[in-house]
Structure 1
């Protein structure tokens, strides 16, 4: 947040809000001391009255700083009046040169850098000329010393001001970058959630509806000639519809299927894979399990089931295959799922940009990577396709 200053205040010390009160205290002390010293040494004559009045006006002038705050010209007029009163006092009584310090700081608070530098140099020349007038012999150090000190002081404060502005700009840039990062994270989160819903609906709800459609078509064809087969297809379609309804609710809530979420023996996953195979009419799907089933994380088990559904849907729609082997293998450190078909295959590059299988396979890869696994696709034209998904086990058995 940028530092706010009063209108008309443009000096390099303008942000120092508490400096006013200390300058006023120092100025009053110095002016009073110099006035007492002058009266003690020179008495109260016509000049003494002028000095006392001038000292009182100089002290009171600083107190009028807060008047007319809405006028942008007031700070400049105020500091110019202070400098003129101080210069008149210093010419008459050189001891008032000590009051140049708080007056110069007031100049640095109000005036821009160029005008502040010029005013400070003129003030040092007034100091040097006043002291030169009362010394026995001309002393060039009375000019070079104050002018040099004034320039060094102004330049030093100018450097500090620039460093402060640079730090403020850096903080502003950092704040702006943090705001942009938060906004980008929000957009990325929303995009990731949309991608997740799209992928899960494609591989669960979408494939379930496709299976129901195929089952009902098969039941319609066998309704007169094979009524028992038709009823079996209708029964399977109804069960698939019920599972699809539950799946819709659980996908929206990002939950695993209930039978997988509550599986403590590891047997629910093979059963779910067999159910997915039965819901793929028109394909001869064989489900094989190697190794000893162990419980998996619900989200990993759900990912394996949805991967199987998505892969079988791809085979049914695009591969022109007749047989599919679904193999679930439990290793000591990972679980591996292979879906192998005897279809026509496709060029490997088509999985990235081709219109056929790209979307489903990308979803399988994305789901596996988000859960810490890996998905691979091997395919050759005329020799079928193998989709492999592997997930590490939480601990070796």
Structure 2
């Protein structure tokens, strides 16, 4: 459970930082500064007491001065220990008031104790809101000036100007540093909040990207396979009575596709890697196997590789194989082609996959333009929007994620060529 930070606001409406004593307990430098201030107070107190003993050994005020000195030392240390781990509460303020009262009394009895006010100024600024602290500093400064005037032989302008100058300087620096600390703390809080919001945004974007990726994987594997099985089973149903052998051939082909789909599904669940790549041999072998598997009596698919083969990143191989699968599924279902070709070209700075067919072709529409069916990218041979699914958008998304480009060239009656180019430097 997150610990709440206690904030206070001074009468002027200034937002105050969390209690410095608590910060002192957490910050070694702050603890060191508190120790220095307490040591300085005790040293000044001891020095003033020693001076008084040497100057006034027979004074009737001596027992009072000694007793008040001991009380001051005890109260100063008690105030430090009461304020550890939290902002000085009621008890801490009572102790601070007691220290100030004792100091005032001892200064009236022995003016040499006046400079013990310097550590008290720090304690007041550290413990009180700004206005109350400034008021306390002004009172302490006035008492120091009175004590110095009593000790001096005549009027000394230096003694009248030095205490106010020291008090104003110390107070101004302390208030400035505290406000700077408040601003820095607010900036850090803003940065932490911004970092959390950014992390949440990245998680949301990652979730959406993963959903899109899973949708493309499902479309390019299970959906395409189920579509092929449906077509084969429908063909088997139409020819079952007239040509039982052909019907059984369709059923066996559908069974083979179902077996491959099962392997894809298992691989999909395991690590989302294409089964063709997982079997070894790299992208070229996977494309060659794909071409042989997609070849039928009505559609012949050939594979060709150009250029010097280079090792491709896994995500590039996976994307190109998925694009080839989706493109051949579109050729088989919509083009009416008799021949198709897969060409993998290794160029100097990029790898290019071309999928060409000699089907009926279509009218290419720019990706940003949508037909009447709402599907961007293609129109049928007659000019009407073709019946398409998520294939082309999924291909474009895959290529775009790798910094590449997807182009389609087609003319009605003259087939089509789909080309996916991926730069090797960005991949």
CA distance in 2, matches of 1:21, 1:192: 56
CA deviation after TM superposition for structure 1 residue 175, in Å: 2.3
Select which of 331, 341, 347 maps to 1:326: 341
Greater relative CO (CA pairs within 8 A, separation 6+)? 1
What is aligned with 1:390?
Answer: 421
Q: Does 1:183 align with 2:197?
A: no
What per-residue deviation string (whole Å, max 9, x for no partner) do you get for residues 96-133 of structure 1? 01211122221122111111112112111111111112
What per-residue deviation string (whole Å, max 9, x for no partner) do you get for residues 147-188 of structure 1? 111111111111111222222222222222333333333333
After superposition, the Cα gap between the structure-2 partners of 1:96 and 1:380, relative to the gap in structure 1 and judged at 3 Å, is farther
CA deviation after TM superposition for structure 1 residue 285, in Å: 5.3
The answer to whether the 8 A contact 1:266-1:293 is kept is no
Q: Which moved more, 1:155-164 or 1:349-358?
A: 349-358
The 5 A counterparts of 1:39-188 are 39-65=53-79, 66-67=81-82, 72-188=89-205
The answer to whether the 8 A contact 2:83-2:92 is kept is no
TM-score (norm 1): 0.84
What is aligned with 1:247?
Answer: 264
CA distance in 2, matches of 1:209, 1:6: 64
After superposition, the Cα gap between the structure-2 partners of 1:13 and 1:327, relative to the gap in structure 1 and judged at 3 Å, is closer
What is aligned with 1:376?
Answer: 407
CA deviation after TM superposition for structure 1 residue 274, in Å: 3.3
Q: Does 1:345 align with 2:359?
A: no
Q: Does 1:303 align with 2:319?
A: yes
CA deviation after TM superposition for structure 1 residue 76, in Å: 2.0
Select which of 266, 287, 294 maps to 1:276: 294
Instruction: Give unmatched runs, 5+ long, in structure 2.
Output: 11-15, 26-30, 376-386
Select which of 333, 336, 358 maps to 2:353: 336
Q: Secondary structure at the match of 1:131?
A: helix
Instruction: Give unmatched runs, 5+ long, in structure 1.
Output: none
Q: Does 1:28 align with 2:42?
A: yes
Q: Secondary structure at the match of 2:24?
A: coil
Q: Secondary structure at the match of 2:353?
A: strand
Q: Which moved more, 1:235-244 or 1:380-389?
A: 380-389
TM-score (norm 2): 0.79
After superposition, the Cα gap between the structure-2 partners of 1:250 and 1:261, relative to the gap in structure 1 and judged at 3 Å, is same
What per-residue deviation string (whole Å, max 9, x for no partner) do you get for residues 213-248 of structure 1? 100111111122222222221111111010000011
After superposition, the Cα gap between the structure-2 partners of 1:138 and 1:324, relative to the gap in structure 1 and judged at 3 Å, is farther
CA distance in 2, matches of 1:68, 1:13: 9
CA deviation after TM superposition for structure 1 residue 343, in Å: 3.2
Q: Secondary structure at the match of 1:338?
A: strand
The answer to whether the 8 A contact 1:8-1:110 is kept is no
After superposition, the Cα gap between the structure-2 partners of 1:376 and 1:81, relative to the gap in structure 1 and judged at 3 Å, is same
Query: How many pairs align?
Result: 390
What per-residue deviation string (whole Å, max 9, x for no partner) do you get for residues 278-329 of structure 1? 4xx9x74543535479586465444334223322444566x56555633314
CA RMSD of aligned residues (A): 3.5
CA distance in 2, matches of 1:128, 1:118: 16
CA distance in 1, matches of 2:83, 2:299: 93
CA distance in 2, matches of 1:351, 1:313: 23
After superposition, the Cα gap between the structure-2 partners of 1:244 and 1:358, relative to the gap in structure 1 and judged at 3 Å, is closer
The answer to whether the 8 A contact 1:372-1:392 is kept is yes
CA deviation after TM superposition for structure 1 residue 207, in Å: 0.4
Q: Which moved more, 1:7-16 or 1:154-163?
A: 7-16
What is aligned with 1:16?
Answer: 24
After superposition, the Cα gap between the structure-2 partners of 1:223 and 1:374, relative to the gap in structure 1 and judged at 3 Å, is same
What per-residue deviation string (whole Å, max 9, x for no partner) do you get for residues 334-371 of structure 1? 34222444233353246778335463212112223445
Q: Secondary structure at the match of 1:46?
A: coil
CA distance in 1, matches of 2:253, 2:34: 87
The answer to whether the 8 A contact 1:339-1:386 is kept is yes
